[in-house]
Amino acid sequence: MKVCVTAQGDNLQALVDPRFGRAKYFLAVDVDSLDFEVIENVNAQGTGGVGIQSGRLMADKGVECVLTGNIGPNASDTLKAAGIKFCLGATGTVLEAVEKYKKGEMTLSEGSNVDSKSGA
Amino acid sequence: MIVSVASGKGGTGKTLVATNLAMSLDFPCQLLDCDVEEPNAHLFLKPQIKKEEKVFKLVPKADVSKCQLCGKCQEVCVYNAIAVVGKKHLVFPQLCHGCGACSYFCPHGAIVEEKQEIGVVTTGESLHVDVISGRMKIGEAMAPPVIRRVKEHIRPDMVAIIDAPPGTSCPVIESIKGSDFVILVTEPTPFGLNDFVLSVEVLRKLNIPFGAIINRSDLGNQETEDFCQKNGIEILMKIPFQKEIAEVYSRGDFIVEALPSFRQAFKELWEKIQPKVAV
Ligand code: SF4
Ligand code: SF4
């Protein structure tokens, strides 16, 4: 199972980036082996629609679940259409977020928790 | 002849100047409220509404019976307004600029366009002033099409006063372009000056003649005036902070009617502007 965590750095010890659309990196982590792929978010500096772009990127990478801090309505619509689940309110390091997810301590969210234009 | 009243930031007294200038003129004129996010000139002018027209934009949609989910439309949309993910084709109308690229490039002719209301333009009359206001729908992000529709009402044989939105972004440029003169309203505070300097740069780029009005002129510092002097910007009027002004304004009345000294001051303002824009 592959989850994707928004990160401020390019390794498992990096802190979770609270924003989805404008996250610096995405770390696609295999929850069992902890193998991971670093995806740099080339859209982070875009002017509009970044949440949609990041959502599309998740779909392209075959991600099943996203762990992040906040998510906006456009990104949430895109992920839902792609059938990708997401958990909000992730904090600490990427590894901590993945561990919490594995223990079932993160709840799946139904929709966005911030408005558009927030970079999330 | 078109005179815009603009301001680098909100709350400087832009609408106060625009509405009072319109009222002080002794011939018919137009007032166009282009601050479509928060139009408020009508609160003072209280026009009798004559007409309301809706403003639409065309928003694309995929016809599911034809769409092959190939993703071409998403690829060509530079505004990221389309996402083709999973088995779905999503359009985000608030990001769409209506450029038509998606429909042009769709290899299966699957894009259809739907009208979506983005705002409304009302026209009315208040004594000798024709009042035209645009209002954008809440949540809508594209102000320029609404502003353009407001400006379509400009009559070349009349004096048109435009109440522009605050700031220096796209909607501001859309509002003031084509003006013969711009009145920049500012406050003599450090923040006010900072935004004022930005507005001055924009106006110089657009090559539109302008002058300044300093509102609450006795409350701040000298720097704004110094800046104007150094840069050859004419100070058209100074409005001191007076309790009477605030009272009259908060009642929704005109200072040119309630306070005779202002009637004179606005007349003089017009006499200063007119020769600069005489056609
Ligand atoms: S380009 Fe046309 S067929 Fe392809 S996804 Fe877009 S709407 Fe569907
Ligand atoms: S009309 Fe232009 S901006 Fe709107 S969705 Fe199509 S390509 Fe994107």
Q: Are residues B243 and B207 in the same domain?
A: yes
> Does the pLDDT of residue B139 top 80, yes or no?
no
CB B32 within 8 A of CB B162: yes
Nearest-by-Cβ selection for A48 from B74, B85, B95: B95
Contact residues on chain B for A55, CB-CB shorter than 8 A: 83, 85
d(CA B170, CA B144): 7
Q: pLDDT tens-digit profile of B204-219?
A: 999 999 999 999 988 8
Q: Are residues B98 and B225 in the same domain?
A: no
DSSP string, B89-155: EEE-GGG-----HHHHH-TT--EEEEEEEEEEEEEEEETTEEEEEEEEPTT----HHHHHHHHTT--
pLDDT average, residue stretch B196-201: 95
| Domain end point (choices B91, B109, B127) | B109
Q: Under an 8 A CB cutoff, do B86 and A83 touch?
A: yes
The contacts of residue B54 (CB under 8 Å, 6+ apart) are: B117, B119, B120
Q: pLDDT tens-digit profile of B8-32?
A: 988 889 999 999 999 999 999 999 9
Domain count, chain B: 2
> Does the pLDDT of residue B272 top 60, yes or no?
yes
> Is B191 in CB contact (< 8 Å) with chain A?
no
d(CA B149, CA B239): 32
Q: pLDDT tens-digit profile of A19-51?
A: 999 999 999 999 999 999 999 998 888 878 899
Confidence of residue B221 (pLDDT cuts 50, 70, 90): confident
> Does the pLDDT of residue B141 top 90, yes or no?
no
* Cα(B79) to centroid(ligand 1), Å: 16
B73 in contact with ligand 1, CB cutoff 6 A: yes
Q: pLDDT tens-digit profile of B156-175?
A: 999 999 999 999 888 999 99
Confidence of residue B278 (pLDDT cuts 50, 70, 90): low
Q: Are residues B95 and B218 in the same domain?
A: no
Q: Could you tell me which chain A residue has the CA closest to the CA of B97?
A: A48
Q: Is residue B165 part of a domain?
A: yes
Query: Structural domains in chain A?
Result: 2-44+57-102 (3.30.420.130)
Q: Are residues B83 and B182 in the same domain?
A: no
Angle, helices B260-277 vs B14-24, to 10°: value is 90
The pLDDT > 70 percentage for chain B reads: 99
Q: Is residue B20 part of a domain?
A: yes
The whole-number pLDDT of residue A117 equals 65
DSSP one-letter code for A107: P
The whole-number pLDDT of residue B51 equals 95
> Does the pLDDT of residue B279 top 80, yes or no?
no
| ipTM score for this prediction | 0.73
Q: Is residue B41 part of a domain?
A: yes
pLDDT average, residue stretch B179-202: 94
Q: pLDDT tens-digit profile of B67-104?
A: 999 999 999 999 999 999 988 999 998 888 888 899 99
> Does the pLDDT of residue B269 top 70, yes or no?
yes
The whole-number pLDDT of residue B20 equals 95
Q: Are residues B159 and B232 in the same domain?
A: yes
Q: Are residues B179 and B262 in the same domain?
A: yes
Write out the residue range of the structural domain in which residue B79 sits.
64-109
Q: Are residues B259 and B184 in the same domain?
A: yes
The whole-number pLDDT of residue A68 equals 95
Q: Are residues B211 and B263 in the same domain?
A: yes
Angle at CA B275, nearest 5°, toward B161 and B224? 70
Q: Is the dihedral of CA B32, B35, B36, B38 positive or negative?
A: negative
The whole-number pLDDT of residue B149 equals 95
Q: Are residues B34 and B134 in the same domain?
A: yes
Q: Which of A8, A33, A78, A62 is CA-nearest to residue B81?
A: A78
Q: CATH code at B78?
A: 3.30.70.20
Mean pLDDT score across all residues of chain A: 90
B173 in contact with ligand 1, CB cutoff 6 A: no
Q: Are residues B93 and B218 in the same domain?
A: no
Query: Beta partners for B57?
Result: B116
Q: Is residue B114 part of a domain?
A: no
Q: Are residues B156 and B31 in the same domain?
A: yes
More confident residue, B133 or B247: B133
The contacts of residue B36 (CB under 8 Å, 6+ apart) are: B119, B134, B135, B136, B143, B146, B147, B150, B165, B171
Q: Are residues B94 and B179 in the same domain?
A: no
Mean pLDDT score across all residues of chain B: 92
Label each residue of B42-63 as H, E or C: HHHHCCEEEEEEEEEEEEEEEC
Contact residues on chain A for B90, CB-CB shorter than 8 A: 52, 77-78, 81
Contact residues on chain A for B86, CB-CB shorter than 8 A: 59, 81-83
Confidence of residue B260 (pLDDT cuts 50, 70, 90): confident
The whole-number pLDDT of residue A100 equals 93
Q: Is residue B8 part of a domain?
A: yes
d(CA B2, CA B4): 7
Residues of chain A with pLDDT under 70: 116-120
pLDDT average, residue stretch B126-143: 90
Q: CATH code at B125?
A: 3.40.50.300
The whole-number pLDDT of residue B116 equals 87
The whole-number pLDDT of residue A48 equals 82
> Does the pLDDT of residue B154 top 60, yes or no?
yes
